[in-house]
Amino acid sequence: MSVTTAERPHQHAAQRRQGGSTLTGTATMIRFILRRDRVRLPIWIGAIILGVVGSLPSFTETYPTAADRQARADLLDNPATIALTGPAYGTDNYTFGAMTANELLGFVAITMALMSILLMVRHLRAEEETGRTELLRAGVLGRHACTTAAFTVAAGANLLIGLLLGLLMPSALDELSTSSSLLFGAAVASVGLVFTGVGALTAQVTEHARAATGLAAAALGVAFALRAIGDVGTEWLSWLSPIGWAQRTRVYVDDRWWPLLLSVALTVILMAVTYATTSRRDVGAGLVQPSPGSPRAGRNLSSPLGLAVRLQRGGLIGWAVGLLVFGVAYGSLAPSIEEFVSDNSSIQDFLGDAGSLIDGFMAMVVMMMALLATAYGLASLLRLRGEETSGRAEPVLATAVSRTRFAASHLIVALGGSLLLMLVGGLGLGITGAIALDDGSMVGKLFGAALAHVVGIWLVIAIVVALFGWAPQLVHLGWVVLTFGVVVGVLGGFFQFPDWVTKISPFHAASTLPGGDLGTVAVVIMGVLAVALVWIGLLGFRRRDLTTT
């Protein structure tokens, strides 16, 4: 036997080994994902960095003296605010750094977690659901290539944001050191990283992308609630939350890096479970197998509204449970606030009596509920556009269903669903608050406050109805309106935006309830505007072509 023939099998074996890895094609997939997200990803990264770095210069304007900062610190250092933002470290010497950490870290971390969840589900489960993964996996592509590529991109985006924040924050606000800012960047990136893992895992569990996103978002909600309850009293609970770990770096105050090791470890575990699952399950399948259903449609499934309710039922129930838990969790914190105020007589001079502090806290909680209910309302209304682009609207509109009736179906679910969420959340908050404070009037007050927000929520939905009718490609601008509401509503107290900015938020009119007064005029105006926008939107939809792009 000659030398050459002996070499050949060896070469082939080497090639086979080289080509047989479960990671083959990862590099191509990474380039592919970057190509597909060439607009989306820079927007996320740019928006987060600009949001943080761009807001820093305003610190020196809003809080020019140490006394101003100290006043803000005194305002912060109570269970009500801590439950909403995070543990207030360094309040005895409230530097710009401590301020940045307390006011911004949690908020930025949640944004990055959301970005990571959406990216992972989009590139893993949504791709499998449409069948595109099958096309790719039939090529020379390893079993773990898609997961690895998506993880690399999402983790890379988080680390890039963290690094850029660390480098850019000091230039925007001189008092922030680079080393501490790098830790700030690492802390927010660590939360994003964990939820990259969470998104990867939930993408394995369910067959539908929507359910995978919902599951991961629920995990984010749990992480937030754990740290809220933990920060106010039961501190070990905060040590169960990635957001809690990031905040426990005590960045700009003590600069501890080690809590981030917990995030890294959890990410490794989540990804290990994800890989193990991908090795076992079929492409396209989830861990939960679909079961056969009814051969006949029930009586409710006889109208477009019946169809919309059926399609959105599961999601609405999930959201309702989420808001109920949110309301109950925050309602149960009320006694800590009362106790805190009665223990500190000096605080009473500064913040007013326990009642007003609790009212302020409740107003913030109801506002956050309204923002969540709006997010639901938008996602629910956007199903209308989803049905249109997927082509499922076409056979429905080819039956005796008018454009208006079709559009009204998902619109009614969006309006009614967001109302239901406020009712459920408001009741949950009111009843637990009433029990915890032994004050029955809380139920009515909080229920009313929750209801007062509904018109504002509907206005945001109505804006998207108008877009749907006239510029269907732009419907996602609704999220920009919501983001504006979140920034003004949640961070407004800190940034002290100009009056007119605060007032154009649809969530402003009811923002001081239950303690303050309802902006009745504003509510009426918003109501009229909402009706007009819905009417305009439906008019537009009746006149335009059905499009799929």
Partner 1 sequence: MTTAIDVAGVVKTFGTVRALDGLDLRVSTGEVHGFLGPNGAGKSTTIRVLLGLLRADSGTARLLGGDPWDDAVSLHRRLAYVPGDVNLWPNLTGGEAIDLLGRLRGGLEEKRRQNLLERFDLDPTKKGRTYSKGNRQKVALVAALASDVELLILDEPTSGLDPLMESVFQDCIDEWKDDGKTVLLSSHILAEVEKLCDRVSIIRTGKIVESGTLAELRHLTRTSIHAETERSVTGIDQLPGIHDLVVEDHRVTFDVDTAKLDGAVRHLSGFGIQTLTSQPPTLEELFLRHYGDELAAEGVTAEAGAPS
Binding residue for partner 1, selected from 9, 20, 139, 293, defined by CB under 8 A: 293
In the complex, what is the shortest distance from the CB of residue 25 to partner 1, in angstroms, rounded to a whole number? 26
* Cβ-based nearer residue to partner 1, 266 or 396: 396
Under the criterion CB under 8 A, does residue 38 sit at the interface with partner 1?
Answer: no
Under the criterion CB under 8 A, does residue 282 sit at the interface with partner 1?
Answer: no
In the complex, what is the shortest distance from the CB of residue 79 to partner 1, in angstroms, rounded to a whole number? 43
* Cβ-based nearer residue to partner 1, 68 or 394: 394
CA separation (Å) from 126 to 121, 204, 472? 6, 11, 22
Nearest to 457 by CA among 510, 404, 516, 383: 510
Task: Pick out residues in 377-406 that bind partner 1 (CB under 8 A).
Answer: 390-392, 394-403
Q: Cα dihedral sign for 420, 421, 425, 430?
A: negative
How far apart CA 113 and CA 242 sit, in angstroms, is 10
How far apart CA 41 and CA 293 sit, in angstroms, is 39
How many Cβ atoms are within 10 Å of 92's Cβ, its own excluded?
10
Under the criterion CB under 8 A, does residue 134 sit at the interface with partner 1?
Answer: no
Under the criterion CB under 8 A, does residue 207 sit at the interface with partner 1?
Answer: yes
Span of 265-273, 288-296, 321-329, 511-519 interacting with partner 1 by CB under 8 A: 288-296
First-residue to last-residue Cα distance in the chain: 63
- Per-residue buried b or exposed e for 99-116, using 16+ beta carbons within 10 Å of the residue's own CB: bbbbbbbbbbbbbbbbbb
In the complex, what is the shortest distance from the CB of residue 208 to partner 1, in angstroms, rounded to a whole number? 6
* Cβ-based nearer residue to partner 1, 233 or 386: 386
* Cβ-based nearer residue to partner 1, 37 or 129: 129
Binding residue for partner 1, selected from 290, 346, 500, 521, defined by CB under 8 A: 290
Contact 542, 465 (CB under 8 A): no
Residue 395 CA to chain centroid, in angstroms?
34
Span of 32-40, 87-95, 191-199, 289-297 interacting with partner 1 by CB under 8 A: 289-297
In the complex, what is the shortest distance from the CB of residue 283 to partner 1, in angstroms, rounded to a whole number? 14
Which tokens belong to 280?
Answer: 């076992």
In the complex, what is the shortest distance from the CB of residue 545 to partner 1, in angstroms, rounded to a whole number? 5
Span of 49-57, 90-98, 303-311, 365-373 interacting with partner 1 by CB under 8 A: 303-311
Binding residue for partner 1, selected from 171, 279, 302, 342, defined by CB under 8 A: 302
How far apart CA 386 and CA 384 sit, in angstroms, is 5
**Residue the block writes with tokens 């792009």:** 549
How many Cβ atoms are within 10 Å of 276's Cβ, its own excluded?
11
Under the criterion CB under 8 A, does residue 138 sit at the interface with partner 1?
Answer: no
Binding residue for partner 1, selected from 310, 348, 470, 491, defined by CB under 8 A: 310
Span of 177-185, 286-294, 338-346, 439-447 interacting with partner 1 by CB under 8 A: 286-294
In the complex, what is the shortest distance from the CB of residue 303 to partner 1, in angstroms, rounded to a whole number? 7
Contact 166, 186 (CB under 8 A): yes
- Per-residue buried b or exposed e for 158-190, using 16+ beta carbons within 10 Å of the residue's own CB: bbebbebbbebbbebbeebeeebbbbbbbbbbb
Task: Pick out residues in 322-351 that bind partner 1 (CB under 8 A).
Answer: none
In the complex, what is the shortest distance from the CB of residue 404 to partner 1, in angstroms, rounded to a whole number? 10
Number of Cα atoms under 13 Å in the Cβ half of residue 351: 30
In the complex, what is the shortest distance from the CB of residue 284 to partner 1, in angstroms, rounded to a whole number? 9
- Chain contacts with partner 1 (rule: CB under 8 A): 129, 207-208, 290, 292-298, 301-304, 306-307, 310-311, 314, 390-392, 394-403, 543-546
